[in-house]
Amino acid sequence: MSNAEPQGLSALEIRLQRESVLPDHEARRHGVTGPHIAASKFTPPAAAPEAKSEKPAKKKKKPLLETKNLHKSYRKGRLTIPVLRGVDFAAEEGKITTIIGQSGSGKSTLLHLMGTLDSPDSGEINFANTRIDKLNIRQRDALRSRAFGMIFQFYHLLPELTTLENVLTPIMISHGMWRYWAARKKFRKRAEELLEMVGLGHRVTHKPRELSGGEMQRTAIARALIAQPRILLADEPTGNLDEQTGGEIMDILKRLNREQNLTIVMVTHDNAIAEQGHETIRLTGGRVEKT
Ligand code: ADP
Ligand code: MG
């Protein structure tokens, strides 16, 4: 860790707040709403500023999330396996950007790096104009819990918890039990509203083993949204579901994007799914091929 790095969270938080990545201190202290995802209603955001502009947008919008010349290899014994070999990727705010590629092409690796679950060997990752590939563990945790929502192919729900409790886990972790407990009614209400929104209002007390795959993924979506993230990162969210159920999950994601302006980056190996994004990039040979 270099000495130049900000001590603790404050410097990063101030920066991210300036970029409006994080809800303000007060809101977070009281454990309530950030500016992004309203749990209860699908009210359209108060006018997407640039969409309504009279003037043609001359300069290209800065991406919300981008990578520059990203490299990542894995080591297996004496072998080094290059997976990403200079990936330039950009996801615009308010858009669904899909990443398609064959199995083993490095899609999950790229998504995990962007989600700060792992570190690149070289290159840059920027989120809301903030460099995020060199954060320390505490800063990454803070970023993930406050600005990123993540969903995965296999849902990763905790089997002993109910649907409602699963949705609440990110809040319990990020706020700590005392602060969670103090505001538990508000959080529970928000979790119930989110479950209602994904069509699971009648399943709040079910455990994961009592749910179908589609219902588990809906729960995972509600969990990803509980902390009102600025961006949703999805790794093959329909990869374990039949076509119809996968389509229903895509409908939820598209509705979130359309009605709440949620930015989504989604990885898939399925062309039909990838085509549903506003932008699609293909990973081949460790690099991006524009489609
Ligand atoms: P995709 O999601 O496109 O299927 P991944 O990003 O999971 O691809 O994997 C890309 C390549 O990196 C694969 O060849 C995989 O075997 C390898 N790989 C992924 N994670 C690891 C790891 N932790 N250690 C070693 N090799 C890995
Ligand atoms: Mg994968």
pLDDT in tens, 157-181: 999 999 999 999 999 998 889 999 9
Residue 63 φ then ψ, to 5°: -65, 150
pLDDT of residue 129: 93
261, 81 Cβ separation under 8 angstroms: no
- Are the beta carbons of 274 and 240 closer than 8 angstroms? no
Distance from Cα 47 to the centre of ligand 2, integer Å: 35
Nearest alpha carbon, ligand 1 atom 19:
109
Report the atom number in ligand 1 closest to the C-alpha of 102. Answer: 3
Measured by CA distance, the residue closest to atom 24 of ligand 1 is 74
- Asked if the model's pLDDT at residue 18 lies above 60, the reply is no
- Which atom, in ligand 1's list, is nearest to the CA of 111? 6
Residue scoring higher pLDDT (45 or 204): 204
pLDDT digits (tens, 9 = 90+) for 203-225: 999 999 999 999 999 999 999 99
Q: How many angstroms does the Cα of residue 84 sit away from the middle of ligand 1?
A: 10
Residue 57 pLDDT: 53
Domains of the chain: 63-290 (3.40.50.300)
Assign 147 a pLDDT band (cuts: 50, 70, 90): very high
pLDDT-derived band at 54 (thresholds 50, 70, 90) equals: low
What integer is the mean pLDDT of 23-37? 39
The mean pLDDT of 118-130, rounded to a whole number, is 96
| Section 20-24 average pLDDT | 43
In this structure, the residues whose C-beta lies within 6 A of any atom of ligand 1 are 74, 76, 81, 83, 101, 103-109
Ligand 1 closest atom vs CA 235: 2
